[in-house]
Structure 1
Amino acid sequence: MSDVESSGSNTQGLSSPTRRNLLRGAAGAAGLAAVSGGLLTACSSSSSSDDKKKSGSTPVAGSTVTFGSNYSDPAAKSAFAALTTAAAASTKAKINVNTVDHNTFQQNITSYLQGTPDDLFTWFAGYRMQYFAAQGLAEPIDDVWETIGSSFGPAAKQLSTGLDGHQYLVPIYNYPWVVFYNKSVFQAKGYTVPTTWDQYVQLAKKMKSDGIIPIAFADKDGWPALGTFDILNMRINGYDYHIKLMKHEIPWTDQGVHTVFQHWAELMPYLQTGANGRIWQDAAKALEAKQAGMMFQGTNQVAAQYVSDKANLDDLDFFVFPEINPQWGQDYMDAPTDGFMLSKKAKNPDAAKAILKYIGTGAAESEYLKTDQWDVGLVNGLQVPTYNAIQKKSVAEIAKCKSVAQFMDRDSDPAMANAMISIIQKFIDDPSTGNIATLQKSAESQAKAIYS
């Protein structure tokens, strides 16, 4: 693979099979409004290792940079390989990629960064970046942003900024969470795209009567269903309510939360059964096989799975989640932003920063997106000749949003996100009104302990 070497065996302390622990997220400003919170402010950029990190202390060309990657799914792994190959060619540095299963990477990120981490690592914008910056586990990259800053808008920069005001991440893409369907199925059955909740439920009923699983659904990994809660909450209660709930400025026993679960319970008869025992990839395969009519998840998963499975991507289409409360319409969605960070313990920070400077260019994003057929780039004025219909539509629909959230396990305290994974799985098993009230009380009890 030219200058890029991949290995799935070097886990560097990443060993558990579950996903998304000890994580935080952020909402944006100007449509990705920033969240402030109770994290301790990280030290600035000084440390005892500053002398070895002075610019120019290590030659970039010919040196080796290690890159910890959670891009383990085949399609994402190929796109990341194209990016790192281009970065190696541009900087003349050698890049060794250590690929770890996506879920395992998330679960063990703290011990990984505290141990012997790679120079660079894949991660997420917003609070989940801020958390590790505040822990002193990531190195500020303000000098990188002095070079790449003009490439990005203020919202992208805000999502890359720690609570101490320093930048810690170079973003690469974002992607919307939307309702996917196969155009051929809708055409053959005469289905029309719903724009309201009532139309959505009626369409699900019709699909069920036609012998089709209305909505492919999986939650074995715990995190996918968080997206359903997010969109229902933003559609019913609005973006500001959602973000305040994530910060526990609104109690989980609030009637607004109850209304979210009530709507979800109404939808439950049309969701693929056995969700807690199914991984999302298998739910996507049900959509691919036209056994299911719709699936609500991110393009980063569904469209990428179509590519991995060599399914008919041209047949895939999506619509934004229907309106529930006319006050909020379809103004909001989850559109998470991913990127790359520099470890505090990086052994070759100079070359690593050179790679980040390359990644923060339109040329790098275009190179990545030649292979990535599901995400959309963030560089200002980016022109990507390889964008397909899904990506072009993603750009347009994200742009229409008045505000964009990052995802529950990026927008809330990591412990609270984990608590909600368990609570939502219990709701999936029993969506009765009585159980909803019990689960709300449990969520509020845990939130009080976590946020106190």
Structure 2
Amino acid sequence: MDQRLPISRRSLLLGAAALGVPAALVGCGSGDSPAPTGGRSAGNLGTVTIGSNASDEIPKKSLETQVKAFTQATVKINTVDHNTFQENINRYLRGTPEDVFTWFAGYRMQFFAAQGLATDVSDVWREIGGDYTQAFKDQSTGTDGKQYFVPATYYPWAVFYRKSVWQEKGYQPPATLDEFTALAKKMKADGLIPIAFADKDGWPAMGTFDILNMRINGYDFHVSLMSGKESWTDPKVKQVFDTWRGLMEYHQPAALGRTWQEAAQSLAQKKTGMYLLGMFVAQQFPEADRADIDFFTFPEINPAYGTDSIDAPIDGYMISAKAKNVEGAKALLKHLAQASSQNIATKLDPGTLAASSKADTSGYSALQKRGAELVSKATHIAQFLDRDTRPDFASTVMIPSLQSFVSKPGEIDSLLASIEKQKANIFR
């Protein structure tokens, strides 16, 4: 049974315009930090703990601000580096997890729910369901038909750029891969590094693979490949890597030594011309420069699929199966599902959009409005490679494989044979 629940254009946004490993386990958390609870030193529901991957400054502040308005319990947040969070979640959930933890919708949620590592929150959904479209509920539902996740925010992936640079140089958004390549050549001639790029953390390159695969082979093939049903040695997959290799000369060099934040800063500093990333790229721009950010969806490669698919991951919250305060945790999830909470998130974080249909989008920046429009027009929406496949396959196979390709893009056949062999051992 295919556990993935695809989101269609019609159902996703008809009504709408992300493991905390305790620091003692991994030595890199920021520690427990109590969040004020609206004037009460302790609410009626005691203390609720959150394991959070919101380690960057802006999303961290966003979560802290949202829980300040929660008056039913005292909240303690344990913030852990985002990448460590993901790499250790399986051990974390089987160990001594916090009550609530930040996580991702769709397949990644279903994977842990099916293992009995998450608490059923169907009763929470009976109260909050009217605030979400059916597609968001689908992406929160396990294979057993129960809900295990509450969506908070989402964000599209696209190619971002600075409007002022493009206006100065006379650049125009490309509609095809040939136009994209011609633009990159022009940027290079103008002294810009055409494409900002970073993969020190292992996951950013997944976004490039996703969009190239969906543009070349279509959404259905991509989803099937992610679920282990297609061969990585298929000529269709090789074409993806061949196409990517052809673009490598325009990528920012030494990508394995650079974080996404540093690559985004190079775009902000006008050293690079464009950057394929999630809308959270805006977090790395000074507030005064954010109005200068714009984007275009990655251009068409195969006319059969055009630009019908994008990545638009959904972030939110789950309750661990070992939660000590389930009642308080469910109350907190209801609070985080409220439009008022998500309004705080989208106001503080310029790279996110609210999942609740009742959220106030009138205060969206021009960038956020454009992001919501992009998602609403997409026919198919993927959750991102490391969310659309098994976590062990994503972390132990795809991260090192894509980093190997970025380092040595000429060795495609052996790379794909290695991925396929490892895939066969994982998808049994």
Q: What TM-score comes out, normalization by structure 1 length?
A: 0.85
Give yes or no for the alignment of 1:359 onto 2:324.
Answer: no
| Distance of 2:123 and 2:193 partners within structure 1 | 52
- Partner residue, 1:64: 47
Mapping of 1:137-148 within 5 angstroms?
137-148=117-128
- Partner residue, 1:158: 138
- Aligned-pair CA distance for 1:344: 1.2
- Aligned-pair CA distance for 1:204: 0.3
Which of 126, 129, 134 is residue 149 of structure 1 equivalent to? Answer: 129
Q: Secondary structure of the residue that 2:167 maps to in structure 1?
A: helix
| Distance of 2:401 and 2:80 partners within structure 1 | 28
Which of 231, 234, 253 is residue 214 of structure 2 equivalent to? Answer: 234
- Aligned-pair CA distance for 1:169: 0.6
Q: Secondary structure of the residue that 2:77 maps to in structure 1?
A: strand
* Residues 152, 380 of structure 1: 8 Å contact kept: yes
Which of 80, 83, 97 is residue 63 of structure 2 equivalent to? Answer: 80
* Residues 339, 359 of structure 2: 8 Å contact kept: yes
- Partner residue, 1:439: 415
Q: Secondary structure of the residue that 1:325 maps to in structure 2?
A: coil
- Partner residue, 2:282: 303
Which shows bigger deviation, 270-279 or 417-426?
Answer: 417-426
* Residues 45, 328 of structure 2: 8 Å contact kept: no
- Partner residue, 1:14: none
1:287 maps to a residue whose letter is L
- Partner residue, 1:396: 373
Which of 315, 339, 345 is residue 368 of structure 1 equivalent to? Answer: 345
| Distance of 1:123 and 1:25 partners within structure 2 | 17
| Distance of 1:29 and 1:282 partners within structure 2 | 32
Shift in CA distance, 395/161, structure 1 to aligned 2, threshold 3 Å: same
Q: Secondary structure of the residue that 1:346 maps to in structure 2?
A: coil
Which of 207, 219, 226 is residue 246 of structure 1 equivalent to? Answer: 226
- Alignment: residue pair count: 397
* Residues 72, 102 of structure 1: 8 Å contact kept: yes
**What do residues 296-334 of structure 1 show as CA deviations (whole Å, max 9, x unaligned)?**
01012x11222xx54611111111111111111111001
2:398 maps to a residue whose letter is M
1:361 maps to a residue whose letter is Q
- Aligned-pair CA distance for 1:109: 1.2
Q: Secondary structure of the residue that 1:97 maps to in structure 2?
A: strand
2:415 maps to a residue whose letter is L
- Aligned-pair CA distance for 1:384: 2.5
Q: Secondary structure of the residue that 1:312 maps to in structure 2?
A: helix
| Distance of 1:151 and 1:33 partners within structure 2 | 14
| Distance of 2:55 and 2:212 partners within structure 1 | 30
Mapping of 1:401-440 within 5 angstroms?
401-418=378-395, 419-432=397-410, 435-440=411-416
Give yes or no for the alignment of 1:337 onto 2:320.
Answer: no
2:262 maps to a residue whose letter is D
Q: Secondary structure of the residue that 1:198 maps to in structure 2?
A: helix
Give yes or no for the alignment of 1:207 onto 2:184.
Answer: no
Q: Secondary structure of the residue that 2:369 maps to in structure 1?
A: helix
Which shows bigger deviation, 195-204 or 113-122?
Answer: 113-122
* Residues 46, 74 of structure 2: 8 Å contact kept: yes
Shift in CA distance, 407/25, structure 1 to aligned 2, threshold 3 Å: farther
**What do residues 190-234 of structure 1 show as CA deviations (whole Å, max 9, x unaligned)?**
111111111100000000011100000000111100110000000
- Partner residue, 1:7: none
- Aligned-pair CA distance for 1:409: 0.7
- Aligned-pair CA distance for 1:352: 1.2
- Partner residue, 2:265: 285
- Aligned-pair CA distance for 1:26: 4.2
Which of 120, 127, 132 is residue 100 of structure 2 equivalent to? Answer: 120
* Residues 43, 74 of structure 2: 8 Å contact kept: no
Give yes or no for the alignment of 1:193 onto 2:193.
Answer: no
RMSD of aligned Cα (Å): 1.9
- Aligned-pair CA distance for 1:382: 3.1
Q: Secondary structure of the residue that 1:248 maps to in structure 2?
A: coil
* Residues 32, 155 of structure 1: 8 Å contact kept: no
1:442 maps to a residue whose letter is S
| Distance of 1:439 and 1:265 partners within structure 2 | 13
| Distance of 2:180 and 2:259 partners within structure 1 | 24
* Residues 198, 255 of structure 2: 8 Å contact kept: yes
- Aligned-pair CA distance for 1:345: 1.3
- Partner residue, 2:25: none
Give yes or no for the alignment of 1:183 onto 2:163.
Answer: yes
- Aligned-pair CA distance for 1:414: 2.0
